[in-house]
Structure 1
Amino acid sequence: MKRLLVLFLAAVFLSGCMGNTPSGKVKRSDDERYTPKYGGTLKIYSYNPDTFNPLYTRNKANAQMLMLIYDTLIKCDESQMVHPVLASDYSVSDDGLVWTVMIKNGVLWHDGTPFTAEDAAATLIAVKESPHKSPYAPALYNAGKIEATGDSVIITLKEPQTNFINLLEIPMVKKSDTAVYDNFKPLGTGQYVFTEKTHKKIYLTSNKGWWKGADPFIENVEVLLLPDKETSVYAFEAREIDVVTTDLLNWREFSGSSEIKSAEYSSGSYNFLAFNLENRFLSNPDIRKAVAHAIDKSRIFKEVLLSHGSLTDTFLNPKWWVYNDDAIKYAYDPGLSVDIIKQQNLSPKDITLELLVNNDNEMKLSVAEIIKQELEEIGIAVRVSAVEWQTFVSRANSGAYDMYLGEINYSTEINPKYVLRGNPQFEPLLSLLQLQTTDSGRKDIYNKLQQEYAQLLPDIPLYFDVEALLYNSKILGDISPLRTNMFNDVHKWFIEYE
């Protein structure tokens, strides 16, 4: 059976802000305490925007900036649990096909008019049907009829989808604005109000009448318009902006600076060692288990990830509420690896394997070398083939490999079919998962899938990447970015005054 490479890149730029107004004092060190104060200016960045309509921009920095202006129906926290934002509640029918989202009363647009279920329904319909091809459209691929009824939006699906609600982390746009692309003036319900755009900057001011009743501490936001991501890092170094997001490779450059703080968040990127189940050695599940016992994940965590990220024993992130901590684990035990191989009437020296990796990823190349060293320590010969990306994809998809280092980026839906595709053993449980309408039912099926996965071991789970929000140390408060919103709970941030 060929193991298909599935690269599901659901890059959904979603957000929402839930939480209480901060109070009291924020501890900065053993002898310093700071009281939150109103005022000041937060300096952030965006790239030259394609459109200010949050439904259609494909510029990630622009989408993140617009989340200061707009609110979403729901948000997913770091554990991927759903929290209502502009929704007050939601429910699903027993057959899993009809989702009813109740809309919160008393929410006002920045022009003082009320946010309604009609606005929410129009937003979702525009995302699904607009010729501008919203990047949020994949979230609604399964949606059939969308309609507003009273204070609710009713969405009828084509087929059951257990975590459909997770995908409604979509910024809500006023009904009259949903079709506008060019010359769009942002008008949201969020924490900040759009005031002006110049050639080089965008200006926002705090929404004093924000529906949550928790005025942001930081009064103004200046958005510096930059040409690209690389320039944003330079601007951060030059103190022209106060925050920037980065991956682990760039993160290292800023470690040790007393003027720069960081807040980690999971990227949703699952990294694993995939096996070709048609290989004459790896077709044997016991040989796969022997390989698993020979790999010291803690070494990868320390040497490659620099102790950032999350090691995992299943295809899910240990931080997610559906993770099964009781699933079978393959602890590092090279002696046991050798014993298992000998029980198959083989010697480790009988086994020769190729490990395929794309040569444009420094971290994966380092992981590949560690795996090679550890397998060779027990006697298995490993040849690392570092190839260009297109060659990597072609060979992985055609089954021309023994092992490869793979990566899949989960959306907030946490749909495991992209990890488990190609293994018919999982199909009954995957189908059953989509029929679940309660959290307990979902958790039970996720647990069973992880147990079966650990027993079959078509891959070796390795780790989930993290990214970081780097910020100037003058920014204080509850800095808690999410992968869908770097400005999560920004109303809890405040600026240190001299």
Structure 2
Amino acid sequence: MRTRSSFQGKRSFRLSRLRLAAVGTALAMGLAACGSGGEGATPAAEESGTPVEGGTIVAALAGDPQTLDVAQNSGALTIYVGQNVFEQLFQFDETLTPRPMLAEDYTMSDDGLTYTIPLREGITFHNGEPMTAEDVVASLERWMVVSGPGKLVAEDVESITATDDATVEIVLNKPRYSLISDLAAYVQAAIIVPAEIAQAAGDQPMADDQIIGTGPFKLGEYTHGQRIVLEKNPEYTAIEEDWGGFAGAKRAYADELEFRFVADPTQQLNGLQTGQFHWAQSVSPDQYEAIKDNPALTVEVTDTGLVSTVLLNHDPASPFSDLKARQAMNMLIDKEAMSRAAFGPDILWTPLSGSFAFEINEPMYSDAGQDVYETYDPDQAKELFTEAGVTADTPIRIATTQTYEKYYQMAVVMQAQLEEIGLTAQVDVFDFPTMIDRLTTAPTSWDISMTGFSGIPGAPSQVNYLTPTWPGGYKSPKMDALLAEYNQATSADEAHDIVDQIQQTVWDEIPVIPISPNKSLQVSSSKLQNLSTFRPGVFWNTWLAG
């Protein structure tokens, strides 16, 4: 990248500018005795709300993440662990406002091209080294190579430099309305790591011995195929503000977080009920009514979640490179029936919506194109498939996983619906990391798949499938132009008008098929106190009652 001198006439936006960025832009489970998992907690308080120091929180994770590099990997397994280890310059609070975390604040020049970011003092990495501006520069430069959102930011970046040990300057080649929200995004996040690690990892996933962040927990052990152990970071200094979400005060009360890899949701629930686990990622939603009143468990629905989505392959080798086939698939799917079969009780997926954002995410939510989303017409779907040249002679290949039972159920529903109109569907089952890898590395091997996308993107560019960097290879000059136009916005109203156009284009071109906003069922032992409902797997400010 080229460098050039700073612009003059800078003005401070500080938190007011952070709020403006959010307004415009803002991958889920104990009897009275907790068994061996609760050993070591100081018996200082029962359920009085008084934090208790010590102990090991044992969490059942649905599989081995393979990597904890949350800058490069977008999988929920990676995020649930990594969010306790790494931090960013800015992170979203519970209202989806970006707040300064490793940054002290920032200023922006009058022309919107130069951002000056002073860093918080006294921040140290898990290896004991102080965080400096050079670490931030190296981390952001790597993020712009390995992260989908980062690659999009890179197109607008002229330079990132350290003006001194505690100040970073970002110079853009054109204004980018979403920059602070981009830096706060938690999927493929702009995490800050030591410069030597960012440079050594380059465009590859960080190795286990490179998992060094600034967060309240640090990596103690990673035994692949078995478990991950995070240890309390004794050098962590929390900020005082209680912002919630991913931001604000973070305090590690437990001595350790132990993530055990348990693929079977029934085994996860049994482990909760016998005291083996304190938290489980994947208790089946079908268990909701049976366990919601169990006093030994805390059963909650998270405030946010994933927009469960059917992926369509735009590769020329797939029938879904034809818009008519994509329109047909949308008309064929009974979204309410699929949601009920895959996601459980209505409370976890209603109201139905075709938006790429949850309704609480006001800056990004839009009901444009809802009429297309709601169209259910198998007869018309059959006609459109015929016009697209799709026949029973060639099976439609559905790549799915049983790591998350809901995605397998989505595949089963689609297979049945395709067969009902005389087509053939082949379901191929993989573990989740392998499935995601195949979608990228073997683009001619699949036609349909499924995953979930964050319902709280901070900007349209954080909706991964809107760009060719995501499996499926959707390319659209119209969408590219709208994404670029969004970043030229100068007000929240102007930005939201463009969000409406982007959402309408999703339903005009159907890059994917959003099914429903799928919140998470978070089930934990009643001994686990003050667990966040903002997102699953947030274990700071959480403790074990004695």
- State how 1:431-450 maps to structure 2 within 5 Å: 431-436=484-489, 438-450=491-503
Aligned to 2:52: 39
Aligned to 1:165: 180
Aligned to 1:328: 370
Equivalent residue in structure 2 for 1:147, among 149, 159, 162: 162
Pair 371,108 (structure 1): closer, same or farther in 2 beyond 3 Å: same
State yes or no: 1:474 paired with 2:533: no
Pair 40,324 (structure 1): closer, same or farther in 2 beyond 3 Å: same
Distance 2:452 2:79 in 1: 22
| Amino acid paired to 1:123 | D
Structure (1 or 2) with the larger CA radius of gyration:
1
Pair 406,94 (structure 1): closer, same or farther in 2 beyond 3 Å: farther
What does the per-residue CA deviation read over 1:404-458, in whole Å, with 9 as the maximum and x for residues that have no partner?
2344756863352247832334332233234446544432222101112223445
Equivalent residue in structure 2 for 1:99, among 104, 115, 118: 115
Distance 1:347 1:77 in 2: 49
Q: Is the 8 A contact 2:304 2:534 kept in 1?
A: no
Pair 92,382 (structure 1): closer, same or farther in 2 beyond 3 Å: farther
Distance 1:211 1:175 in 2: 24
The 3-state SS of whatever aligns with 2:371 is coil
State yes or no: 1:239 paired with 2:261: no
What does the per-residue CA deviation read over 1:251-308, in whole Å, with 9 as the maximum and x for residues that have no partner?
95996254232443655465125376989999575x8656534432111111111133
Q: Is the 8 A contact 1:469 1:481 kept in 2?
A: no
Deviation of residue 337 (structure 1)? 5.8
Equivalent residue in structure 2 for 1:404, among 417, 438, 448: 448
Aligned to 2:506: 453
Distance 1:136 1:445 in 2: 27
Q: Is the 8 A contact 2:52 2:545 kept in 1?
A: no
Distance 2:450 2:75 in 1: 26
Aligned to 1:126: 138
Pair 472,148 (structure 1): closer, same or farther in 2 beyond 3 Å: farther
| Amino acid paired to 1:204 | K
The 3-state SS of whatever aligns with 1:357 is strand
Q: Is the 8 A contact 1:201 1:222 kept in 2?
A: no
The 3-state SS of whatever aligns with 1:83 is strand
Deviation of residue 325 (structure 1)? 1.9
Q: Is the 8 A contact 1:71 1:85 kept in 2?
A: yes
What does the per-residue CA deviation read over 1:351-371, in whole Å, with 9 as the maximum and x for residues that have no partner?
846532125445444324434
Pair 435,253 (structure 1): closer, same or farther in 2 beyond 3 Å: same
Distance 1:228 1:340 in 2: 41
Distance 1:323 1:193 in 2: 33
Deviation of residue 322 (structure 1)? 0.8
Higher helix share: 2
The 3-state SS of whatever aligns with 1:145 is strand
Distance 1:74 1:168 in 2: 6
Aligned to 2:422: 381
Equivalent residue in structure 1 for 2:91, among 72, 75, 83: 75
Distance 2:101 2:250 in 1: 20
Distance 1:49 1:407 in 2: 16
State yes or no: 1:212 paired with 2:240: yes
- Which deviates further from its counterpart, 169-178 or 141-150? 169-178
Pair 166,208 (structure 1): closer, same or farther in 2 beyond 3 Å: closer
Deviation of residue 72 (structure 1)? 3.4
Q: Is the 8 A contact 1:313 1:462 kept in 2?
A: yes
Q: Is the 8 A contact 1:39 1:218 kept in 2?
A: no
Pair 134,182 (structure 1): closer, same or farther in 2 beyond 3 Å: farther
| Amino acid paired to 2:443 | N
**Unaligned segments of structure 1, at least 5 residues:** 1-32
Distance 1:121 1:382 in 2: 58
Aligned to 2:29: none
- State how 1:193-204 maps to structure 2 within 5 Å: 204=232
- Which deviates further from its counterpart, 273-282 or 362-371? 273-282
Distance 2:77 2:210 in 1: 17
RMSD: 5.8
Distance 1:77 1:209 in 2: 18
Aligned to 1:355: 396
Distance 1:211 1:154 in 2: 23
Distance 1:443 1:470 in 2: 35
Q: Is the 8 A contact 1:260 1:471 kept in 2?
A: yes
Aligned length: 439
Q: Is the 8 A contact 1:277 1:458 kept in 2?
A: no
What does the per-residue CA deviation read over 1:220-264, in whole Å, with 9 as the maximum and x for residues that have no partner?
4121556756699597665355334x2465995996254232443
Pair 239,34 (structure 1): closer, same or farther in 2 beyond 3 Å: closer
Equivalent residue in structure 2 for 1:84, among 78, 92, 100: 100
Q: Is the 8 A contact 1:267 1:465 kept in 2?
A: yes
Distance 1:317 1:370 in 2: 24
Q: Is the 8 A contact 2:134 2:165 kept in 1?
A: no
The 3-state SS of whatever aligns with 1:462 is strand
| Amino acid paired to 1:87 | A
Q: Is the 8 A contact 1:43 1:242 kept in 2?
A: no
Q: Is the 8 A contact 2:57 2:278 kept in 1?
A: yes
Deviation of residue 38 (structure 1)? 3.5
Distance 2:426 2:504 in 1: 32
Distance 1:62 1:281 in 2: 30
Percent identity over paired residues? 15
Pair 486,251 (structure 1): closer, same or farther in 2 beyond 3 Å: farther
Aligned to 1:414: 463
Pair 474,155 (structure 1): closer, same or farther in 2 beyond 3 Å: same
Q: Is the 8 A contact 1:102 1:151 kept in 2?
A: yes
Q: Is the 8 A contact 1:289 1:337 kept in 2?
A: no
Pair 482,439 (structure 1): closer, same or farther in 2 beyond 3 Å: farther
